[in-house]
Structure 1
């Protein structure tokens, strides 16, 4: 007798050997049988799916569960002006009158024209130290008191690069926070300076809240793409306390300047465990498009500069070849077309030097891709780890900073998911929480429509992909991208019994209703979570 049977279901297996089924059986945490209702075996427990859609548990290939959404911060998502930012801060201050810092997150670059300054923030915070994270956590905006408290005088910092004005004074805008501030040294520096956001208990609370959210959305494997060795203890604590109900794969952050001793520590920390794995390395080649810090082949629209890569191309090629030879898998953040090309060139160099291997190096984001580089993903075995929600017209399209920064001539390069699929690339889809919503339904809706959540016209609709392709990107594609396609990503006998039963059948409802669909039952390791 089996442990569990799910019957009376519409099971989309994502397994080409048997794409659809009505029932499945689970034994010892793994899928043991898939077939028709009338052939189902006996089991100790049965779940009647009521004809609902059953999918493999979602594998979110790029989800910052450690950052999460911090309940102790002022939430600025949707604040479209400095006045609205001020209103939200004032409301927060009324509820937290004794707070030592005003901490804010979710700021949209388009809320203020140009780059914000400390003086702008002073108007709504006064003399209480304050910082604001952009929605992508790549930039930090400080007021004058915050600049003083963190000792920011301009130039390079342990946690970013401070922009300065013509007189050399810091403007209050700090770039490269994701590259420096989320690194081990940056986090230690901020904690040492007394920033509450960087404290261990705050970090742990964010992790727990995000892990709970992931399981609730049917995400049964989370890939946390950027961690220092210090962060691993947070996951181990969550696992020991029974708070990790979804599986986690953690990549280790490799900032520029990482040495051979660090690589030895990374190799020693690597582990392959069904619940908590550690191993890939996260690198950056460029930053982000909105503040003009991504690397483009041609100058930004209306500007003379085209952004910079964090490494000279030759240096990066040598570094990737070294990591590849040591057996590491690389997740490389690249958003601009020149940044992406630099990574592809480096992978090509590594294959020439080391010989081809099944490395499954990932380029993460792939926001602005030159058509000449589209076929190179499949040719070089590079996975395109993409976030469909980022391509939404209400985030990046006309009227928003992304579209304005690259200019309309480059809009056809924006998130070319269909072009990559047609060229044979492996697509791994993800949320990039908390840069965007964690709910896979929102990403699925955007991938198949290229529309905003409120509807309206599609943006670059030629690059929309089919529902089947999108579901595969959120399941088997992401499992493959992380060397886990042997035990998850499809409903196949022998794989983990990680499943989600949805409230509605995505294949039968109008696409406009996809964001309303919920994960009604989530099963991880054969147990209802």
Structure 2
């Protein structure tokens, strides 16, 4: 190189994921790309008078983390909502909610997130009457951690116009009581959208998920600026955790435009993919919009090349789609697509050259998703599609080999598991059959089958802190039989958060490795991760985050 680099990082323990040089001590960044990787002496010799020198002090240096499954707009706005994670019991909830109501007198709906399914006790649901007692004089609603259920009090149901029921989409339910009024439990986006549209952001943060379309009407200048500022704050939060890339799992033209505006302002701190979201009730002609999104969003920092769909809900609310009924019920879950419609959607999206990512948690949902991908391959021929199945929580053994056979990517969130230290360890046992547990959250079994695996958080379902999920994968809780040991190696886990997540977005030749010529996306940790006890990995943090050669976070 002829010009001195802009930044050199010295005295590090580099994990490069470059087979030609797996380990190194230092790296030089120049003009948005990696200029050189080598020893501290070599890289120090490249520095000029204007070069910034960062001493990693023997800590781990990695390619910037890529979180391959997030809901950026939702996670961003929820940074300022009441967070009920860890709150248990009516008294504690009441105290927290009333304090929030006093803090936010202008909100039409007092809103909270991360309310546990057992917030009022194991085996006990939440009713509108419970929430009336918590906050009797104002509309109040709260999200479950998985964001598939909202509980609302009577005033919130009245505000949403659904106290006596209302219109929903396939796979969504306004749970009704024997008295002909809503109980307060709203299952899936088609049901809870009626309340969500009255929150501080008018439900725009979830619009790409709820409808797949732009908000109607489009926000004016004040709301648009507010939305953009919220996303900017969320991106700063992601950068503080060493993240340089995001795969958004809901989106629309509006979200893409906000990200482009942030990029123009120099505030886009993470490269972000925005998908086209196809709903189960949509005509296949809507896929023409996917082609338009791909055309309009096609830069290194904001792009669209993927179609997102949902096949089912979640296990905890019994909306995940199962091959046999949930224990003690005759209910197998709620399909979002018919098999025929899903297969046709896959065939058409695949023929367009789009990647497909499908939320599939139950064993029947996973099977139908694989069936759709197989139908696309038979109709269009095999290609390097890298289609993804998101979550894969309850897998039937017969479908395990199909991932590798169809070249389908297993997109997994270690923190979702009962093993993951984040949610209750016994949360699944009331709704699953014992013989389903050996293949539930079967990360290593899937990896051993030859399937490609990528890791992510699903923020805001769990926090976007990468290291919490690293600990969940490397040092999971030991659960009794019939649960099986699915712990990951540290190297496999870090690769699945960096090089593998770059690969799944078709960027393996541009990012995800520390090698000369690659994008200058780098994170320096504040610990040597390889020397840490696995149980302590979640105490590590980013000391320096660099995206495109620019420092986006420094502790």
Q: TM-score, normalised by structure 2?
A: 0.88
Check 1:62–1:478 CA distance in 2 against 1; reply closer, same or farther (3 A cut): same
Take 2:191 and 2:492, find their aligned partners in 1: how far apart are those partners? 32
Structure 1 residues 442-482: Cα deviation after superposition (integer angstroms, max 9, x where no partner): 11111011139xxx999946211100100011001111111
Take 1:407 and 1:290, find their aligned partners in 2: how far apart are those partners? 13
Report what 1:47 is aligned to: 54
Report what 1:421 is aligned to: 447
Report what 2:168 is aligned to: 157
Take 1:191 and 1:341, find their aligned partners in 2: how far apart are those partners? 33
Check 1:388–1:254 CA distance in 2 against 1; reply closer, same or farther (3 A cut): same
Report what 1:216 is aligned to: 240
Identify which of 16, 21, 36 aligns with 1:18: 21
Does 2:118 align with 1:106?
no
Take 2:177 and 2:83, find their aligned partners in 1: how far apart are those partners? 28
Take 2:79 and 2:551, find their aligned partners in 1: how far apart are those partners? 28
* Structure 1 position 340, deviation (Å): 0.6
Does 2:188 align with 1:176?
yes
Report what 1:514 is aligned to: 537
* Structure 1 position 205, deviation (Å): 4.1
Take 1:143 and 1:479, find their aligned partners in 2: how far apart are those partners? 43
Take 1:37 and 1:98, find their aligned partners in 2: how far apart are those partners? 56
Report what 2:342 is aligned to: 316
Q: Contact (CA 8 Å) 2:104, 2:110: kept in 1 or not? A: no
Structure 1 residues 501-525: Cα deviation after superposition (integer angstroms, max 9, x where no partner): 1111111111122111111011111
Take 1:191 and 1:251, find their aligned partners in 2: how far apart are those partners? 16
Identify which of 480, 484, 491 aligns with 2:514: 491
Take 1:199 and 1:141, find their aligned partners in 2: how far apart are those partners? 26
Q: Contact (CA 8 Å) 1:450, 1:458: kept in 2 or not? A: no
SS in structure 1 at match of 2:70: coil
Take 1:189 and 1:32, find their aligned partners in 2: how far apart are those partners? 42
Report what 1:128 is aligned to: 138
Structure 1 residues 245-265: Cα deviation after superposition (integer angstroms, max 9, x where no partner): 121111121112333543222
Report what 2:361 is aligned to: 335
1:30-109 pair list within 5 angstroms: 30-40=33-43, 41-44=45-48, 45=51, 46-68=53-75, 69-97=77-105, 99-109=107-117
Check 1:242–1:458 CA distance in 2 against 1; reply closer, same or farther (3 A cut): farther
Check 1:123–1:210 CA distance in 2 against 1; reply closer, same or farther (3 A cut): same
Check 1:188–1:55 CA distance in 2 against 1; reply closer, same or farther (3 A cut): closer
Check 1:395–1:409 CA distance in 2 against 1; reply closer, same or farther (3 A cut): farther
Q: Contact (CA 8 Å) 1:253, 1:282: kept in 2 or not? A: yes
Q: Contact (CA 8 Å) 2:87, 2:115: kept in 1 or not? A: yes
* Structure 1 position 81, deviation (Å): 2.3
Check 1:447–1:514 CA distance in 2 against 1; reply closer, same or farther (3 A cut): same
SS in structure 2 at match of 1:363: strand
Check 1:460–1:261 CA distance in 2 against 1; reply closer, same or farther (3 A cut): same
Check 1:76–1:335 CA distance in 2 against 1; reply closer, same or farther (3 A cut): same
Does 2:403 align with 1:399?
no
Take 1:460 and 1:6, find their aligned partners in 2: how far apart are those partners? 43
Unaligned runs of 5+ in 1: none
Identify which of 500, 510, 522 aligns with 1:477: 500
Report what 1:280 is aligned to: 306
Take 1:248 and 1:515, find their aligned partners in 2: how far apart are those partners? 24
Aligned residue-pair number: 523
Unaligned runs of 5+ in 2: 194-205
Structure 1 residues 397-434: Cα deviation after superposition (integer angstroms, max 9, x where no partner): 5432x332113332212211101111111111111111
Q: Contact (CA 8 Å) 1:138, 1:179: kept in 2 or not? A: no
Take 2:211 and 2:334, find their aligned partners in 1: how far apart are those partners? 24
Does 2:414 align with 1:388?
yes
Q: TM-score, normalised by structure 1?
A: 0.92
1:261-272 pair list within 5 angstroms: 261-270=285-294, 271-272=297-298
Q: Contact (CA 8 Å) 2:110, 2:140: kept in 1 or not? A: yes
1:218-237 pair list within 5 angstroms: 218-237=242-261
Take 2:398 and 2:191, find their aligned partners in 1: how far apart are those partners? 28
Check 1:273–1:256 CA distance in 2 against 1; reply closer, same or farther (3 A cut): same
Check 1:200–1:119 CA distance in 2 against 1; reply closer, same or farther (3 A cut): farther
* Structure 1 position 324, deviation (Å): 0.8
Identify which of 132, 138, 149 aligns with 1:139: 149
Report what 1:2 is aligned to: 4
Report what 2:126 is aligned to: 116
Greater mean deviation of Cα atoms: 284-293 or 80-89: 80-89
* Structure 1 position 527, deviation (Å): 2.4
SS in structure 2 at match of 1:80: coil
Q: Contact (CA 8 Å) 1:451, 1:457: kept in 2 or not? A: no
Take 2:534 and 2:8, find their aligned partners in 1: how far apart are those partners? 30
Check 1:398–1:451 CA distance in 2 against 1; reply closer, same or farther (3 A cut): closer
1:186-205 pair list within 5 angstroms: 200=224, 203-205=227-229
Q: Contact (CA 8 Å) 1:103, 1:130: kept in 2 or not? A: yes
Check 1:17–1:188 CA distance in 2 against 1; reply closer, same or farther (3 A cut): closer
Q: Contact (CA 8 Å) 1:282, 1:332: kept in 2 or not? A: yes
Q: CA RMSD in A?
A: 2.8
Q: Contact (CA 8 Å) 2:212, 2:278: kept in 1 or not? A: no
* Structure 1 position 25, deviation (Å): 2.3
